[in-house]
Chain A
Amino acid sequence: MLSEEERQEIEREILRSGVKRGASLEALRIVQKYRGWVSDEIHDTAEILGMTSAELDAVATFYSLIFRRPVGKHVILICDTVSCWVTGYEKILERLTRRLGIGMNETSADGQFTLLPVACLGVCDRAPAMMIDEELYTDLTPEKVDEILGHYQ
């Protein structure tokens, strides 16, 4: 069941879009904002958008930033693309996995962090790079990773 807030926000997006299904990604993002992720129970959301659950599911499963499983309190998006790889991505990944005790696509046992790969973040002049939630971190070194994680732990 959608909450009243979720429903109202989705209705607003539909108005803005002008076409119901045009708001499907925003609708999923609203659900994710309130719940942290988007479960398989998307019937209500699909209905407001004038879509079948299967159609909305096809959208939800497509985007890498719509989460279909619970994620940690903070989501780390590490750029694993070529310029970051050339300039030391593997060392950054190693430090992250060692500090957090998780591998790629996993969530730490305390529910604090989820580690996900992301396509080139477009800061190749300041590689290697990652994002934590909405914050961008560049020119990473293993030491800098320790320091950054310190702010979140």
Chain B
Amino acid sequence: MERPLTGHTRTYGEPLSLRDYEKLGGYQAVHKVLKGMTPLNVIERVKSSGLRGRGGAGFPTGIKWSFMPAGEDAPRPRYLICNADEMEPGTFKDRLLLEGNPHQLIEGMIVSAYALQVDVAYIFLRWEYRLAAKRLERAIAEAYENHYLGKHILGSEYGLELHLHVSAGRYICGEETALLNALEGRRAIPRAKPPHPQVCGLWGRPTIINNTETLCNIPHIINHGVEWYKGLSHTDQGGTKIYGVSGKVKRPGAWELPMGTPMRELLEEHAGGMKDGVAFRGVLPGGASTDFLLEEHLDVRMDYESVQKRGSRMGTGQMIILDDKTCPVGMVLNLERFFARESCGWCTPCREGLPWIAKILHAIELGEGQPEDLEILEQQAGLLGPGNTFCALAPGAVEPLQSALKFYREDFERHIKEKKCPWR
């Protein structure tokens, strides 16, 4: 089984130096595109590979790229930003890529930047990833020294500046328009769309923002081609995916596997199944902003469409497991408190609605819930759903809530009836 993104790295091992990376075929994609592919060729190849954004939304990368205005008259400078602000609860895949092989990301960014004729690129990194910051700084310096960055890359006409921006907390910075405000030194609240960043992004210029894992796929698509890339997958959605499992399982971890690997295989084979003495009750398939799924859904293939058909989303592909010794109300309370705290406060439904939800859940957990609370929660979940808020934070926040109210109804009702949490 091929693991192009992680095959050369050891989890928690030392990262590859530039020389080691080159020996393994690293930076070949930069040579290849600069010598023999037009920017449009590169975009077309990424488009036909079917690569979809690995940050959670799954938007086709090549199509996103094609929205950037091209040609002589297009405004300059043009920007590319790597979103490495990984903060989705339960998600730890980009950390592995950033720490394990920073040059792979840099190469992916150079190739993408060339395709998009970008002048300046940024890696937007959360502060807490200290090791990643250190390794990225070093790798960027090595790349400059070896003429992969700066003016006239490898003697060509093309040049690129790459900067590392280290952030300072707040989940909302990972929302792409909030990220733009953060980079411009403004309060990091999301912007209204349209205009989309591809047209009017950083400092009002055309800007593409891609997730770390997405960009790490690019060199491999260039080197090995579209057919190879599609063949990595179990389904019609190409490539591999870094899946992860956390919670009370025997071997929590993250693994690069063919796109479309079934959830059951992830849980039972790779994560070793549930710890002794606890049983599976449910799963958030791809981070905190996804709907719960149950035992009966475990055979679903983890790809964008298959998970969506079951009423959830693949999101980041990082599964969080609910077990029978953990209170589902408590778990949802934990999630909603997180979202309430991380709401940027810009739009009213999110700012006011999420704390209200968290307060009601807290009351239920304490045994002070009222029967009508469940209706209020359902109503709030609807009011905070898609289309009613400024960005996707609140609609994501209510996904685990609405599915918990459906699947774990009896547990909520027991809390209210028995006036206590049965797990405490």
A12-29 Cβ-contact flags toward B at 8 Å (1 or 0): 000011010111110011
Chain B residue numbers with a CB within 8 Å of A123 are 92, 95
CB-based contact A63/B91 at 8 Å: no
Q: Does A118 contact B (CB under 8 A)?
A: yes
Which chain A residue shows the least CB distance to B86? A122
Chain A residue numbers with a CB within 8 Å of B91 are 120, 122, 124
Which chain B residue shows the least CB distance to A81? B89
CB-based contact A82/B86 at 8 Å: no
CB-based contact B183/A22 at 8 Å: yes
| Number of chain A residues whose Cβ lies closer than 8 Å to a Cβ of chain B | 42
CB-based contact B252/A124 at 8 Å: yes
Q: How far apart are the CA atoms of A58 and B184 in the complex, in Å?
A: 13
B239-273 Cβ-contact flags toward A at 8 Å (1 or 0): 00000111110001110000000000000000000
Q: Does B170 contact A (CB under 8 A)?
A: yes
B221-244 interface with A by 8 A CB criterion: 244
Chain B residue numbers with a CB within 8 Å of A120 are 87-91, 288, 338
Q: How far apart are the CA atoms of A63 and B166 in the complex, in Å?
A: 12
Q: How far apart are the CA atoms of A97 and B334 in the complex, in Å?
A: 19
Residue of A17, A21, A65, A86 touching B168 (CB-CB under 8 A): A65
CB-based contact A119/B130 at 8 Å: no
Residue of B86, B185, B284, B322 touching A59 (CB-CB under 8 A): B185
CB-based contact B168/A125 at 8 Å: no
Minimum distance in angstroms from A151 CB to a CB of chain B = 17
Chain A residue numbers with a CB within 8 Å of B321 are 86
Minimum distance in angstroms from A127 CB to a CB of chain B = 6
Minimum distance in angstroms from B323 CB to a CB of chain A = 8
Chain A residue numbers with a CB within 8 Å of B126 are 122
Knowing A63-B169, A87-B247, the reply to whether A122 touches B87 (Cβ < 8 A) is yes
Knowing A21-B186, A81-B334, the reply to whether A131 touches B170 (Cβ < 8 A) is no
CB-based contact A119/B89 at 8 Å: yes
CB-based contact A19/B184 at 8 Å: yes
Q: How far apart are the CA atoms of A87 and B87 in the complex, in Å?
A: 18
A39-57 Cβ-contact flags toward B at 8 Å (1 or 0): 0000000000101000100
Q: How far apart are the CA atoms of A125 and B248 in the complex, in Å?
A: 10
B320-342 Cβ-contact flags toward A at 8 Å (1 or 0): 11110010001100110010011
Q: Does A66 contact B (CB under 8 A)?
A: yes
Chain B residue numbers with a CB within 8 Å of A117 are 341
CB-based contact A19/B203 at 8 Å: yes
Q: Does B83 contact A (CB under 8 A)?
A: no
Q: Does A136 contact B (CB under 8 A)?
A: yes
CB-based contact B170/A63 at 8 Å: yes
CB-based contact A121/B128 at 8 Å: yes
Residues of B with Cβ closer than 8 Å to A? 86-92, 94-95, 126-131, 163, 167-171, 182-188, 203, 244-248, 252-254, 284, 288, 318, 320-323, 326, 330-331, 334-335, 338, 341-342, 344
Query: 21 A-B Cβ contacts within 8 A?
Result: A19-B184, A25-B168, A55-B186, A59-B187, A62-B170, A62-B187, A66-B168, A81-B338, A82-B320, A83-B246, A85-B334, A86-B246, A86-B247, A86-B248, A87-B246, A119-B89, A120-B90, A122-B92, A122-B128, A124-B320, A136-B130
